[in-house]
Amino acid sequence: MTTPDAQATTPVCPAEAMIKMLSGKWKPQVFRLATTQALRFNTLLRQLEGANKQSLATALREMEQDGLLEKTVIRLKPLHIEYRLSEKGQSMVSVFQLLEQL
């Protein structure tokens, strides 16, 4: 059984859910950059002017928890971590392509 407070914060509309997943300072930019290629953390940090390590790490973790990004650990020396759009994230790209046409 859910509480009234939980119901108030749970998005009902798919568009509302999508907006909630991409709300945040760096998430829209990360999403846009991830549509074209897999990205490493330091590459993102350099491309997002004004971002700091903590805020970017938080955004990436939340996007991964929401199922938008997949994190891949590449066991080379030094260790590399890449982020790419998940299947769920890729399914959202067409929505943004439609919005660009407006």
- 9 in a structural domain: no
Q: Domain of 79?
A: 14-101
The whole-number pLDDT of residue 67 equals 94
- 5 in a structural domain: no
- 8 in a structural domain: no
Tell me if 39 sits within 8 A of 84, measured CB to CB. yes
Number of domains in the chain: 1
- 47 in a structural domain: yes
Q: How far apart are CA 29 and CA 1, in angstroms?
A: 37
Kindly report the three-state secondary structure assignment for every residue of 53-64: HHHHHHHHHHHH
- 2 in a structural domain: no
The per-residue pLDDT of the chain, averaged, comes to 87
The whole-number pLDDT of residue 9 equals 62
Comparing C-alpha atoms, which of 63, 62, 53 is closest to residue 84? 63
CATH of the domain at 46: 1.10.10.10
- 34 in a structural domain: yes
How do beta strands 39-40 and 80-85 pair?
A: antiparallel
Predicted confidence band of residue 43 (pLDDT cuts 50, 70, 90)? very high
Mean pLDDT of 67-82: 91
